[in-house]
Amino acid sequence: MNRYPRDMRGHGPNPPRANWPNDARIAVQIVLNYEEGGENCILHGDAASEAFLSDIPGAAQWAGQRHWNMESIYEYGARAGFWRLHRLFTGRDIPITIYGVATALARSPEQVAAMKAADWEIASHGLKWVEHKDMPEAEERAAIAEAIRLHTEVVGTPPRGWYTGRCSANTVRLVAESGAMDYISDTYDDDLPYWAEIGARDQLIIPYTLEANDMRFATAPGYSTGEQFYQYLRDAFDVLYAEGAAGAPKMLSIGLHCRLIGRPGKIAGLMRFLDHAQAHEGVWFARRADIAAHWAKAHPPARRERPSQMDAARFVAKFGSIFEHSPWVAERAHALDLGPAHDCAAGVHNALCRAFRSASDAERLAVLQAHPDLAGKLAAAKALTAESTNEQASAGLDALTEAERSAFQSLNAAYMAKHGFPFIIAVRDYTKPEILAAFEARIANDTDQELATACRQVERIAEFRLKDILP
């Protein structure tokens, strides 16, 4: 099948209500990335020095050499930045999640002890803080397994959450296949958690952030001052808080790095943001593990049959009657590059309409001619499809007076004689008098105009039918 794997729909236009604890209007989730001692360095067996996320503008890797300045900047994060942040969060009693690179944690026993004493979650940030994009799948799978092993050895408990960061296209699948994680965060695609069906596993995804993130002190376009960081975080908080007050609570992820936000001139902006957020009621500061546990309980996974995953026979059996007596429309729609965005009424409707609109004039006319008359002989004989029966009944066309029945029969005959196809209208949009009035008005139109109108009404009827059976 020609299938598009990316999910452009997500929770759709009506996301689930988060139902955060104590009816919180917003969940604020702060991540502190602990990478110092796990970055690229020839001391770690790497081919070159680190070049990513530091205060050295335009840094480049030094092949085969130690980059003393780069190493020193990373060391600042472990030696000074971490402890400044530790005092900040413990002093305010704010729980956070650590994304801990396993080899970095192994080189920082005092910091690990402090994380544990503060009851911070220590999630896995991979084995080393290096690029995974070019790793062969077997090598990356082995690195994931070793990261879990070393993390467990260093921390004393295995990680239950995962974020690689510098990931490959295989990372999320490989981590999910390990079966070891309550959640994975290597996505940036939502303001709420969601479930991903990866093979037989329902994997919880808790999206992360690269914009409410102090990494932009080291990337362009980015922040130059702590005040800019504060303003961005405040604005993000205020928008999401207002959405929560309106009944649609979300999650605000904030990403931090010891060597970046741990600097005095940068942390001041974070402090101002915390003042702002803590001054509001209904704010849940949570670890990612807490959010994962809440979501699994409040919104457990629920698998359903997905149109984009159906084979052709099942797709046609399910949707072949949406366009009246015209299963070929569903057959052609199935051949399109469907994906997760089509696993809803709007998605299947779009695919079916594409097939219908690209058909020949004769084929579209045949679809129109397959439709029954309104309140006609087939209805009287109870020979309509189930869909047509329900639709006509919804407008009261199954309970006509003799005068109404006579009027419809007369109009049906005159309309067919003039245009060559039955009068088609999405009856669920109208009352019985409105239908009769539209019938009387449209019969006078020219046939080309009526053909276009009838085709639009056929698509509208299909939309109603799909909403009856799909989200």
Residue 378 scores a pLDDT above 70? no
pLDDT on residue 196:
97
Mean pLDDT of 82-91: 98
CA–CA gap between residue 357 and residue 462 (Å, rounded) = 13
Residue 379 scores a pLDDT above 60? no
pLDDT on residue 218:
87
Mean pLDDT of 293-315: 97
Model pLDDT for residues 6-45, shown as the tens digit of each residue: 999 999 999 999 999 999 999 999 999 999 998 878 889 8
What mean pLDDT is reported for the chain? 93
Model confidence at 377, pLDDT cuts 50, 70, 90, reads: low
∠40-43-49 over CA atoms, to 5°? 35
Residue 381 scores a pLDDT above 70? no
Model confidence at 383, pLDDT cuts 50, 70, 90, reads: low
pLDDT on residue 425:
93
**Lowest pLDDT segment from 44-48, 137-141, 258-262, 269-273:** 44-48
Model confidence at 220, pLDDT cuts 50, 70, 90, reads: confident
CA–CA gap between residue 342 and residue 306 (Å, rounded) = 8
**Lowest pLDDT segment from 89-98, 219-228, 244-253, 259-268:** 219-228
What would the 3-class secondary structure string for 113-176 be? HHHHHCCCEEEECCCCECCCCCCCHHHHHHHHHHHHHHHHHHHCCCCCEECCCCCCCCHHHHHH
pLDDT on residue 471:
84
Mean pLDDT of 398-402: 76
Residue 291 scores a pLDDT above 90? yes
pLDDT on residue 328:
98
Active-site annotation, residues: 371
CA–CA gap between residue 469 and residue 318 (Å, rounded) = 9
Burial class (CB in 10 A: 0-12, 13-18, 19+), 120: buried
